[in-house]
Amino acid sequence: MPRSIEFFFDYGSPYSYLANALLPGLAARTDADIVYRPMLLGGVFKATGNRSPAFEPVEAKRAHGGESLRRWLAHHAVPFAGNPHFPIDTLGLMRSCVAAQREGVFAAFHAAIYPAFWVAGENLGDPRVVSAVLGAAGLDAPKLVECAASADIKAQLRATTEEAVARGAFGAPTFFLGDAMYFGVDQLPLLERALEECPA
């Protein structure tokens, strides 16, 4: 069985932010690799008929979901301040993420974007704000923006999103260990157990 964890994520998902903070430790404990698979969560919702928890129509359930997220973040001591611009259209941001992978600067991009989104509360739906964040991280923002606008980057993000849906994803974060899908942060202990039971 593969020893790689495929992590399908969108920066606009706060639970993906939490998962991102927890995955490196899980991978280290189980001697697994993390394969980062940026997808467009809005595209997943559209394809599956699902919706963001932010639009949950049952007020009590929506409120509990927000409180549950805050409890999990506090439990794992993950810094979080929310984002006053949420929900944000992440299409351009996720294309830029794919471009960063293509250009070999994903690690620096990823390390800059998540705290900008969920700790600093930046409006990352605004390309100018994204460029400023990337520039502050020492990245060539104009080059990434140009790459993100290319037809092949757009096609790659669309293909990854469609692949996630075809494999059963309906939201984020979604993880795959081989063909087995795990959805949500609460599934990480089960994913870790599966990895522990995998032959190396």
By annotation, the residues acting in catalysis are: 13
For residue 72, what are the CA distances in angstroms to 5, 68, 92, 177, 187? Answer: 21, 6, 29, 23, 13
Tokens 């964890």, residue located = 5
Residues in contact with 182: Cβ distance below 8 Å, sequence separation at least 6, in sequence order: 174, 175, 176, 188, 190, 191
In the block, residue with structure tokens 């809005």: 42
